[in-house]
Each structure stands twice: as structure tokens, then as C-alpha cells.
């Protein structure tokens, strides 16, 4: 793996999802995937922009695509599915010349958006592949039973994202299996957690996220893996709120898939931001340490 990737972190990754950014960068470095930050990147507009006006949303996203293309990159990756959706929606809508014209007026410059956009998960699965990833893993994730939660936007809209079976995606499950963990039969892989409505309509998010946590617990998982900063925020940061609302206690740690991958790659906890969670990640580390001690690795 050598081809350089334009990297679009997205706003959350500089703040509430810092550990996603940290672990992504750390994993990619170890795996030899070179990430070049999109120069001067700005917000993709996210749901609020899209919900307000399509041209405005597309212009905010397009600016970043243009910035990336100015560097000559032909591939872009972002860890955040919501950012990816915003970028792809802009690309797809701009295939309509009339719409593209409107976007260019807002943008104040031509919008060439032909760069290939993917999620970090997709890049790792497609460009490296399971075998190569497993080969680079120095410490097995044995003992972990992972419920992989993909959230709603990783596979939907089906036509636009074109990633995995929208009812039963398996990319993360296959990854963790390859890294030595067990994949828990988790039923709500692509159910929505309430996304950005967490602030204005909290009760909805608490109910939905509560249901996801309950299903993960029922699957016998000892860790819940996510690939989206919003999902993580709702399931981890709002844990006490969920408990207060639903009355169920849960100590299930919620980790980004890149954090688990990083552990398998032998990266230190701090490099992966494992201390930045609201719900303690210690149980995961304890299980792994036991495994590694018995297998004499790590």
C-alpha cells in the first residue's frame, strides 16, 4: 500500500470524536497507508445543511472536494459516514448540470468533483483486504466478542453508498473474525441511533440508542464496535442519560473499530485514545491482556 489518500477528518474528529481520528491515523501509519489532510478543510454541512437547502449543502461539501482535488489526489477517505454521505450526495447531485451550475454560483468557482470518495473502513477492506490486515496484526483479539454496529448511513442510501448488504453488512464482523475475535450475532446492525436529533429531541435518541445497547447486550457481546462519531457519542457519552431514561444499566464499552484494529496491530492505548471514553474501556483491555499473557505476545 503506497498510494496517498486525501484525508478528510470532519469536524467531530477534532473534538468529541478525537479518538476516532487518533486511532485512524495511527492504524493507517502502521499499515503504510499515507493520509494527506485535505488542505484547509471545512465542515461538510452535515444534516442541517442538507435539511435546509440542497445547493447550500452541496456547496459546503464541494468546497472540500475541490480542495482535495487541487492537491492532485484521486482518492479521498473520511472516517465519518455522515461526512461521506454529504460528499457523495454533492457528487451525485452535481451530475445534473443545472444543479451543478447553482452550486458553482454559491461556491464562486468551478466544481470538479470527480475524486473517488470512500470511508476509511471501505478503504481498508478494499485496498488492503482481510488477509493483509490479519497478517499485520501482531496481537490477536481473542476473548473479545464483538457486536458490530454499522449505523444507518454506512450502507444507506443503498444506491449512493453501495457498500455491503444493507440488511446484514458484515465488513466489521469479518475484520474482527480475521483478527481473532468472535462476532456476536447482533440484530440491530443498521438501526438508526437517532443521529443528530440527540440535541433537539433527546428522548428519541435515548430510546433508540437504548434499544441498540440492549440488543448488543443480548447478543452476549463484551464490546460494541462502531464506525461513526455520532453513534459513538449517543451510545457512549449519553450512557448515563440512557440509563436514566430506560432504567437499564449497561457497562458495555463502545469502541471505534479503528481502536480495536489498533490494539491488534500492537499500538499502545494512548495512541488509540482509549482513555477518552465516557464508559470505561478497561474491561476490553483486561480481557486482551489475559489473552496476550497466555499467548506470550504484546
Partner 1 sequence: MRIGVFVCHCGTNIAGTVDCAAVAAAAQQFPEVVLAVDTPYACSEPGQRAIIEAIEQKGLNGVVVASCTPRMHEATFRRTVERAGLNRYMFEMANIREHVSWVGRDKKLNTFKATDLVRIAVEKLRYNRPLTAKSFAVNKRVLVIGAGVAGIQAALDCADGGLETIVVERTSTVGGKMAKLDKTFPTVDCSVCVLGPKMVDLAQHRKIKLYAMSEIADLSGYVGNFEVSIRRKATYVDWNKCTGCGLCADKCPSRKAPDHFNELVGRTTAISIPFPQAIPKKASIDASSCLHFLKDRCGVCAKVCPVEAIDFEQQDEVVKESVGAVVVATGFDLLDIRRFGQYGGGRFPDVVTSLQYERMLSASGPTGGHLKCPSDGREPKSVVFISCVGSRDRSMDRAICSGFCCMYTAKQAILTKSHVPDCETHVFYMDIRAPGKGYDEFIRRAQEEYRTNYVRGRVSSVYPKNGRLAVRGADTLLGTQTEVMADLVVLAVGAGAAEGSRDLAEKLRISYDAYGFFMESHPKLKPVETNTAGVFLAGACQGPKDIPASVAMGSAAAGKVMALFSKERLESDPQVAQVNAVRCVGCLKCLRTCPFGAIQEVQARDGSTKAQVIESVCQGCGVCTVTCTDRAIELQHFTDNQLLAEVNYLCRSWMEKSPA
Partner 2 sequence: MPVMELSASQDRAFFEAVCAKSGQDLLRCYQCGNCTAGCPMQPYYDLAAHQVMRLVQTGQRKAALTCSSLWLCAGCGQCSARCPNQLDVALILETLRHMARRAGYNPQPRVAQFSRAFLKSVHSHGRVFELGLLLRYKLASGRLLDDADLAPRLLKVGKLHLTPTSTPGQAEVAAIFRRYEQGAGS
Residues contributing to the site for partner 1 (CB under 8 A): 165, 167-168, 185, 187-188, 215, 218
From the list 34, 70, 135, 203, which residue makes contact with partner 2 (rule: CB under 8 A)?
203
113 and 67 Cβ atoms separated by less than 8 Å: no
Return the residue of 5, 6, 8, 12 that touches partner 2, per CB under 8 A.
12
Helix (H, G, I), strand (E, B) or coil at 161: helix
Among 72, 131, 200, 296, interactor with partner 2 by CB under 8 A: 200
- The H or E element containing residue 210 is helix 202-218
Give the number of other Cβ atoms within 10 Å of residue 276's Cβ. 17
Asked whether 233 and 193 are in contact (CB, 8 A), the reply is: no
Q: Is 187 in the site for partner 2 (CB under 8 A)?
A: no
Give 77 or 83: the residue with its C-beta nearer to partner 2.
83
Residue 30 binds which entry of partner 2, partner 1, none, CB below 5-8 Å type-dependent: none
CB of 200 to partner 2, least distance (A): 4
Query: Among residues 59, 55, 60, which one has the least CA distance to residue 43?
Result: 60
249 binds, among partner 1, partner 2, none (CB under 5 to 8 A by kind): none
Pick the closer one to partner 2 by CB: 174 or 211.
211
- Is 145 or 239 the residue whose CB approaches partner 2 more closely? 239
Rounded to whole angstroms, the Cα distance separating 224 from 186 reads 10
Count of positions (residues) in the chain? 298
Residue with smaller CB distance to partner 2, 156 or 174: 156
Contacts of 268 (CB under 8 A, 6+ apart): none
Amino acid at each position: 500500500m503506497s498510494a496517498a489518500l486525501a484525508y478528510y477528518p470532519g469536524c467531530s474528529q477534532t473534538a468529541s470524536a478525537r479518538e476516532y481520528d487518533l486511532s485512524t491515523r495511527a492504524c493507517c501509519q502502521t499499515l503504510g497507508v499515507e493520509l494527506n489532510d485535505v488542505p484547509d478543510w471545512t465542515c461538510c454541512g452535515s444534516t442541517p445543511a442538507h435539511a435546509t437547502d440542497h445547493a447550500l449543502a452541496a456547496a459546503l461539501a464541494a468546497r472540500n472536494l475541490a480542495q482535495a482535488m487541487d492537491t492532485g489526489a484521486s482518492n479521498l477517505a473520511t472516517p465519518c459516514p455522515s461526512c461521506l454521505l454529504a460528499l457523495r450526495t454533492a457528487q451525485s447531485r452535481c451530475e445534473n448540470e443545472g444543479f451543478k451550475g447553482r452550486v458553482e454560483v454559491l461556491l464562486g468557482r468551478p466544481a470538479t468533483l470527480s475524486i473517488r470518495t470512500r470511508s476509511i473502513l471501505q478503504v481498508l477492506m478494499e485496498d488492503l483486504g482481510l488477509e493483509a490486515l490479519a497478517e499485520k496484526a501482531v496481537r490477536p483479539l481473542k476473548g473479545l466478542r464483538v457486536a458490530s454496529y454499522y449505523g444507518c448511513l454506512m450502507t444507506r442510501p443503498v444506491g449512493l453508498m453501495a457498500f455491503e448488504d444493507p440488511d446484514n453488512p458484515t465488513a466489521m464482523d469479518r475484520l474482527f473474525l480475521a483478527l481473532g475475535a468472535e462476532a456476536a450475532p447482533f440484530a440491530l446492525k443498521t438501526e438508526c441511533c437517532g443521529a443528530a436529533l440527540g440535541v433537539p429531541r433527546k428522548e428519541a435518541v435515548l430510546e433508540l440508542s437504548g434499544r441498540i445497547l440492549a440488543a448488543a447486550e443480548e447478543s452476549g457481546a463484551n464490546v460494541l464496535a462502531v464506525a461513526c462519531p455520532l453513534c459513538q457519542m449517543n451510545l457512549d457519552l449519553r450512557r448515563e442519560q440512557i440509563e436514566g431514561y430506560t432504567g437499564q444499566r449497561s457497562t458495555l464499552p463502545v469502541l471505534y473499530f479503528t481502536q480495536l484494529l489498533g490494539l491488534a496491530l500492537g499500538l499502545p492505548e494512548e495512541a488509540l485514545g482509549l482513555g477518552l471514553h465516557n464508559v470505561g474501556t478497561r474491561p476490553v483491555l483486561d480481557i486482551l491482556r489475559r489473552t496476550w499473557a497466555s499467548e506470550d505476545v504484546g
